[in-house]
Amino acid sequence: MSAPQPSDTKQKIMDTAEKLFATDGYSVTSFRNITSEAGVNLAAINYHFQSKEGLLMAVLHRRIDPMNQQRLEMLDALEAGGAPDVESIVRAMLEPALRMKERFGVHGEHAIRILGKLHGDPAGVPDELFSDLFKEVFERFTAAFSSALPGIPAAERHWRLHFVIGAMAHTLVTSLKLEELTCGLCDASDTDAMVERIVVFATAGLTAPLPASIPGGSGS
């Protein structure tokens, strides 16, 4: 039997860490848990990832980068055809994320659960690690929405985009709970319908008139 290659060991470590971070949480998962489950030694983890944060980011980049690349490719295609409308930009931002489970199966579900647990983890990770994952996407889509929503003040656009991202994240993490609560009336497995619903919902929120209490709103 041939000896395991370094690339095989690295993948095994990431697969194991991904599963444990998703099921148990990042802060409570130790290197000992990972080495025991993966059948590797601590030196291998230190060699490939240097630190626990380094391992976490490798795990997330492996799933998040392809999703973000698809987002940017969709936005590039829209902008190549002229000035895209709000709904098209919303779709480019949300659909790749909502299809993570379709694209990566259980690994996509793991990535979603890791992100969900990190946001609710008081120990947490430094904010710059999340910036590293999403900085380019955030900047590109913020600029696109700025062009598509010239009548909405910058602060209001940021709030609305914040709400849309929150709706997306909540949908990704809790859609199965909605199916249970509605006794199957809401089908969490129907990704096509879910995408259409959230795109319509988010577009309406982003393009809504300014509240009367906001400077420039209907009551001003």
Going along the chain from its start, the domains and CATH numbers come out as 60-207 (1.10.357.10)
Residues 6+ apart with CB under 8 A from 19: 37, 110
Rounded CA-CA distance 186/188 in Å is 6
Q: What is the tens place of the pLDDT at every residue in 120-169? A: 776 667 677 778 899 999 999 999 999 999 999 999 999 999 999 999 99
Enumerate long-range contacts of 101-104, CB under 8 Å, 24 or more apart: 101/191, 102/191, 103/66, 103/67, 104/63
pLDDT, one tens digit per residue, over 47-89 is: 999 999 999 999 999 999 999 999 999 999 999 999 999 999 9
What was the pLDDT predicted at 216? 63
Beta carbons within 8 Å of 97's beta carbon, 6+ residues apart: 67, 71, 168, 172
* % residues pLDDT > 70 (the chain): 92
Distance CA 29, CA 49 (A): 15
User: What is the reported pTM?
Assistant: 0.87
